Amino acid sequence: MELTEIFGSNVFNDKVMKQRLPKEVYKALKKTIEQGTPLRPDVADVVANAMKDWAIEKGATHYTHWFQPLTGITAEKHDSFISPAPDGSIIMEFSGKQLVQGEPDASSFPSGGLRVTFEARGYTAWDCTSPAFLKEDESGNVTLTIPTAFYSYRGEALDKKTPLLRSMKALSKQALRVLKALGNTTSTQVTATVGPEQEYFLVDKKFYMERLDLLLAGRTIFGAPAPKGQELEDQYFGAIKDRVSDYMHDLDIELWKMGITSKTKHNEVAPAQYEMAPIFDTTNIATDHNQLVMETMQKVAFRNDLVCLLHEKPYAGINGSGKHNNWSLSTNDGANLLEPGSTPSENVQFLLFLSAMIKAVDTHADILRATCATAGNDHRLGANEAPPAIISIFMGEELTEILEKISKGEKISSKDEQFVSVGVDTLPIIPRDNTDRNRTSPFAFTGNKFEFRMVGSAQSIAGSNVTLNTIAAEALEAIAARLEKAKDKNAEAAAIIKDTYKKHHRVIFNGNNYSDEWVKEADKRGLPNVGNTVDALKAFTTEKAYKLFEKYDVLSRKELHSRFDIYVEHYAKQINIEALVAIDMTRKQFLPSVLEYATFLADSIDDLESVEVPAAAPRDMLKKLSAALTSAYKNLAKLETAVKKAQQIDDTVKKAESYRDNVFTVMQALRADVDSLEMMIPRDMWPVPTYSDLLFKL
């Protein structure tokens, strides 16, 4: 098949809808998709039937309402199309009702207190703005997959999609107000566009299977560094090995079939680390697609005798993985609102939207940070790795200078052709793509979009985008309110840009975000710097957060609190698993091997001395081994005690704090001991694959 035929071949997209739906039905559905008008039951019936026929022709036997519970991964329950006929045979059926709403047994998904047992039901509702598609497994089983939102009996969001859709609505409304106040009467919708770059590691399946920590915790809890790391910088953008290239090809095909625009692939900085970037799409489609990307990456790897590691920090000592969430705003008539324009009025508009984001990010840095808080991401944010836990915006020198001058009421001199006095005489023409791509910034303006680089590689991007959309809506509303009242719009726009910069410029930082000076400087500027998940998540339960999300009907107080509870609990569970794995591996694998080697050394000493050969070397080796062994043994006992203590704590936050302060720290100490033992023991006596195996034998 040609690539053009493969792409989207498993998607019930616009082209298929046009072909298969009666004109009236197509029109009605389009209206629902584009304007959110309610879908009539008779229309739903026709759509469902067409979807079913299409899916069956492509080999489907089942359909599923696919949703995104608060676990961060996706969920699906498959129902076949079969329905009994009176004569004992079956017919294939799929009604509008089945398409539009489902009722999975939801009692085993986390609800954070939103659902009590007597109303354990959860409902799924079709999100027709994200197209239905076919999921195909290796042996050819095909399932019609319907993207849905998941909510409780009382309508509370139990998932990540519902607030995302709500935030999109809020953002569109406020952005349109600003556009309208500026005289734009043609745009009827504004959507956030998102392009998430996905980093990942690959490891040979046979090594992976021999490491309990990788298998159960997704990261190596132990492991002495390999003699070589990433210091030669020979991996980044390096030639892709055949085996990996085959994998990437298979991955592309699977993604393309589902209409996912996998565009760019390359080697990343660390050994065995890679990246895939799609072409951007609307927030909710990008989010759905990113979930599929993660799932498909893992599935396809397995078929190729590889394992795809999505964890933020699979290996100590080399780079971890993140997700660069590229975010911008686009009108339904195709204008990118964060693109500097070629006319003065376009630039007024650009600078206003830019100002909105400066205000939004400065005001709610704590919430943005919280959206990236997971046990895995703690190994990146604020832990000597990109990016730091301090949120700042990289704006580029030129743009910063322009804002600076506007804020001081200075005229921007026409240094060259580009800088001519225009309209409001303080607003210059903004040079295009003037940014020099500061790679260390957590929130970088890159010419016509922002790149939020804190999101963890294993995370859903929903949470971060819900927050970006909502804080943008809030900032835009304030701008709209001022503009609507003003007589001289241009003068008011200039005043808004000036005021915003004056008040919020502390969040702009163009320097090296990894430096110690920045940590000090950020502290002086009063920017929050929260280095761990439990503390970061507290930003979800402040009055400021409640007010923000309630005002735009994105998340109620209760819904926010439920998320806080679930995420804090998840953190504790994650560390608990890691600790139990650490205990298991130490007791059952490392200690026995070390003892075996100790015995071997002791025997050697005896043997050598019995023939009167000096045994100073093995004696010294044994001494050192024994010292590390004693320390490991002590720390193992400490870890067991710490885990027991943490397990007994009832209060969710206190429990998580205990895992963070006691369990995790002892686990680190145990790791240091075990890693030093690994360095002392012959390779063939070490019971698990080493970093050299995992990172270089691919």
Q: State the residues that interact with Mg ion by CB under 5 A.
A: 324
What does the alpha-carbon distance between residue 15 and residue 249 come to, in Å, rounded to a whole number? Answer: 26
439 binds ligand ADP (CB under 6 A): no
Please state the closest distance from residue 346 (CB atom) to ligand ADP, in A.
15
Rounded CA separation 244/373 (Å): 31
3 state SS of 447: coil
Q: Which is nearer to Mg ion, 441 or 470 (CB)?
A: 441
Interaction of residue 336 with ligand ADP, rule CB under 6 A: yes
Q: How many residues bind ligand ADP (CB under 6 A)?
A: 15
Residue 279 touching ligand ADP (CB under 6 A): yes
Nearer to Mg ion, 323 or 482 (CB): 323
What's the rounded Cα separation, in Å, for the pair 379 and 221? 12
Reduced to 3 states, what is the DSSP secondary structure of residue 445?
strand
- Beta-bridge mates of residue 269: none
Instruction: Judge whether 449 and 328 are in contact, CB under 8 Å.
Output: yes
Binding mask 546-575 for ligand ADP (x = CB under 6 A): ------------------------------
Q: Name which of 211 and 323 has its Cβ closer to ligand ADP.
A: 323
Residue with tokens 């009176």: 86
Name which of Mg ion, ligand ADP, none residue 278 binds, using a CB cut-off of 5 to 8 Å depending on partner kind: ligand ADP
Q: Which is nearer to ligand ADP, 269 or 583 (CB)?
A: 269
Q: Which is nearer to ligand ADP, 448 or 676 (CB)?
A: 448
CA atoms within 13 A on the CB side of 219: 26
Q: Which is nearer to Mg ion, 438 or 676 (CB)?
A: 438
Nearer to Mg ion, 196 or 344 (CB): 196
**Contact of residue 676 among ligand ADP, Mg ion, none (CB under 5-8 Å per partner type):** none
Single out the residue of 239, 90, 81, 69 nearest to residue 158, CA to CA.
69
Indicate the residue among 189 and 267 with the shorter CB distance to Mg ion: 267
Picked from ligand ADP, Mg ion, none, the partner binding residue 193 (CB below 5 to 8 A depending on kind) is ligand ADP
- The 8-class DSSP code of residue 661 comes to I
User: 195 or 428: whose CB is closer to ligand ADP?
Assistant: 195
Q: How far is the CB of 513 from ligand ADP (least distance, A)?
A: 16
Phi, psi values for residue 157, rounded to 5°: -70, 125
Task: Residue 328: name its binding partner from ligand ADP, Mg ion, none (Cβ under 5 to 8 Å by kind).
Answer: ligand ADP
In the complex, minimum distance from the CB of residue 444 to ligand ADP, in angstroms, rounded to a whole number:
9
**568 touches 652 (CB < 8 A):** yes
**Cβ–Cβ under 8 Å, residues 154 and 116:** no
**Binding segment for ligand ADP among 344-352, 445-453, 535-543, 600-608 (CB under 6 A)?**
445-453
Nearest residue (CB) to ligand ADP, 195 versus 618: 195
CB 372 within 8 A of CB 381: yes
**Please, is 227 exposed, middle or buried when counting C-beta atoms within 10 Å of its C-beta (0-12, 13-18, 19+)?**
exposed
Q: How far is CA 618 from the centre of its chain?
A: 50
Give the residue with the Cβ less far from ligand ADP, 293 or 666.
Answer: 293
Q: Which residue is nearest to Mg ion (CB)?
A: 324
652 binds, among ligand ADP, Mg ion, none (CB under 5 to 8 A by kind): none
Which of residues 324 and 655 has its CB atom nearest to ligand ADP in the complex?
324
In the complex, the smallest distance separating the C-beta of residue 324 from Mg ion, rounded to whole angstroms, is: 5
Q: Which does 109 bind (CB under 5 to 8 A by kind): ligand ADP, Mg ion, none?
A: none
**Residue 279's binding partner out of Mg ion, ligand ADP, none, with CB under 5 to 8 Å set by partner kind:** ligand ADP
As measured in angstroms, the least distance from the Cβ of 197 to ligand ADP is 6
Q: 91 in helix, strand or coil?
A: strand
Please report whether residue 277 would count as binding ligand ADP according to CB under 6 A. Answer: yes
For the CB of residue 326, give the shortest distance to ligand ADP in the complex, in Å.
3
The region of 63-71, 272-280, 387-395, 636-644 touching ligand ADP under the rule CB under 6 A is 272-280
Find out whether 586 and 670 touch, Cβ atoms under 8 Å. Answer: yes
Please tell me whether residue 280 binds ligand ADP under the rule CB under 6 A. Answer: yes
Helices then strands, counting H and E runs in the chain, come out as 24, 17
Q: What is the 3-state secondary structure (H, E, C) of 177-244?
A: HHHHHCCCCCCCCEEEEEEEEEEEEEEEHHHHHCCHHHHHHCCCCCCCCCCCCCCCCCCCCCCCCHHH
Binding partner selected for residue 336 from Mg ion, ligand ADP, none, CB under the kind-specific 5 to 8 Å limit: ligand ADP
Q: What does the alpha-carbon distance between residue 537 and residue 564 come to, in Å, rounded to a whole number?
A: 6
CA–CA distance, 53 with 581 (Å, rounded to integer): 48
x/- string (CB under 6 A) for ligand ADP, residues 186-225?
A: -------xxx-x----------------------------
How many Å apart are CA 240 and CA 293, to the nearest integer?
20
- For the chain, how are helix, strand and coil distributed in percent, rounded to 5? 50, 15, 35
Provide the minimum distance between the beta carbon of 200 and ligand ADP in the complex, in angstroms, as a whole number.
15
Shortest distance (Å) from residue 598 CB to ligand ADP: 51
Distance, in Å, from the CA atom of 504 to the CA atom of 31, rounded to the nearest integer, reads: 40
* Residue 326 within binding range of ligand ADP, rule CB under 6 A: yes
The residue (of 324 and 505) whose beta carbon lies closer to Mg ion is: 324
Dist. CA 579–CA 650, nearest whole Å: 19
Q: Which does 112 bind (CB under 5 to 8 A by kind): Mg ion, ligand ADP, none?
A: none
For residue 143, give the 3-state DSSP assignment: strand
Under rule CB under 6 A, residue 328 binds ligand ADP:
yes
Site for ligand ADP, rule CB under 6 A: 193-195, 197, 277-280, 326-328, 336, 446, 448-449
